[in-house]
């Protein structure tokens, strides 16, 4: 009985609406922080104009899909046995809230050293950040976004969770391109940093 009540709570409209609001606030926060703190020059992006536009659309689009699912729009929903439902919902919440906190922590740690993925450049005066969440992985913002996506799909029991696989490879590809620039900029210190940390997840995982 308690497990059923907990399952209903984790998937209650109030909780799902709260998650949707958090995603909307995160998207707004990201946009505001970029406008107020980023030193990146969009005209100097090493992505093609088409790739720039695509990447800028991708993350808000993913966010809106997640919001739609949390607000009750059935996208890829699956019938899940009651015993499994609680496990998926609980694990999904852990991933979602952990991903939110990790992305925010990493973004604030970078400060003025951050540039939008679409801008793909080393910003003026950029310093090598190896503290905070960057002690454990080189791209914790991407890790947080991936965890958020998986978390929502588990909470709403959607087969769209399989799209975490291509999302992972896209983030890994983007991270690799960024690291190419960072190696050219910071040289041996960044090479040593790469040897001691994982890309999206700590080396011990």
Read off the pLDDT of residues 125-180 as tens digits, 9 standing for 90 and up: 889 999 999 999 999 999 999 999 999 999 999 999 999 999 999 999 999 988 98
Q: What is the DSSP secondary structure assignment for residue 71, as one 8-state letter? A: T
Mean pLDDT of the chain: 87
Residue 2, Cα to own-chain centre: how many angstroms?
32
For residue 40, the tally of other CB atoms under 10 A from its CB is 20
- State the pLDDT at residue 9: 78
Give the Cβ contact number of residue 98 at 10 Å: 15
Helices of type H across 137-202: 140-155, 164-186, 188-196
pLDDT score for 76: 86
For residues 171 and 109, is the Cβ–Cβ distance under 8 A?
no
Compute the average pLDDT of residues 54-59.
Answer: 82
In this predicted structure, what is the pLDDT of residue 71?
A: 95
- Tell me what pLDDT residue 81 has: 81
Maximum C-alpha span of the chain: 59
Q: Is the pLDDT of residue 48 over 80?
A: no
- Helix pair 2-10, 82-110: axis angle to 10 deg: 40
pTM, two decimals, is 0.88
Share of the chain residues as helix, strand and coil, in percent rounded to the nearest 5: 70, 0, 25
Partners of residue 77 on adjacent β-strands: 158
Phi/psi region, residue 132 (left: phi>0; alpha: psi -120 to 50; beta: rest), is left
Helix (H) or strand (E) holding 52: helix 49-70
The mean pLDDT value for 41-54 works out to 63
Q: What is the pLDDT confidence band of residue 105, given thresholds at 50, 70 and 90?
A: very high
Q: Which of 7-11, 24-28, 58-62, 74-78 has the highest mean pLDDT?
A: 24-28
Domains and CATH numbers, the chain: 2-196 (1.20.120.1630)
């Amino acid at each position: 009985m308690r497990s059923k009540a907990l399952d209903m709570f984790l998937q209650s409209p109030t909780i799902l609406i709260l998650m949707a609001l958090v995603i909307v606030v995160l998207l707004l926060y990201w946009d505001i922080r970029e406008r107020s703190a980023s030193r990146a020059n969009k005209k100097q992006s090493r992505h093609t104009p088409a790739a720039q536009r695509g990447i800028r659309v991708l993350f808000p689009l993913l966010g809106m899909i997640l919001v739609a699912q949390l607000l009750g729009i059935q996208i890829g929903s699956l019938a899940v046995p009651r015993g499994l439902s609680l496990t998926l919902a609980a694990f999904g919440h852990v991933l979602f809230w952990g991903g939110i906190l990790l992305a925010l922590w990493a973004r604030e740690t970078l400060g003025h050293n951050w540039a939008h993925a679409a801008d793909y450049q080393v910003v003026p005066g950029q310093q090598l950040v190896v503290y905070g969440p960057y002690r454990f992985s080189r791209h914790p913002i991407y890790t947080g976004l991936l965890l958020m996506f998986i978390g929502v799909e588990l909470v709403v029991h959607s087969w769209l969770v399989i799209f975490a696989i291509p999302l992972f490879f896209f983030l890994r590809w983007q991270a690799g391109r960024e690291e190419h620039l960072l190696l050219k900029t910071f040289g041996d210190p960044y090479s040593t940093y790469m040897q001691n940390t994982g890309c999206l997840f700590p080396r011990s995982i």
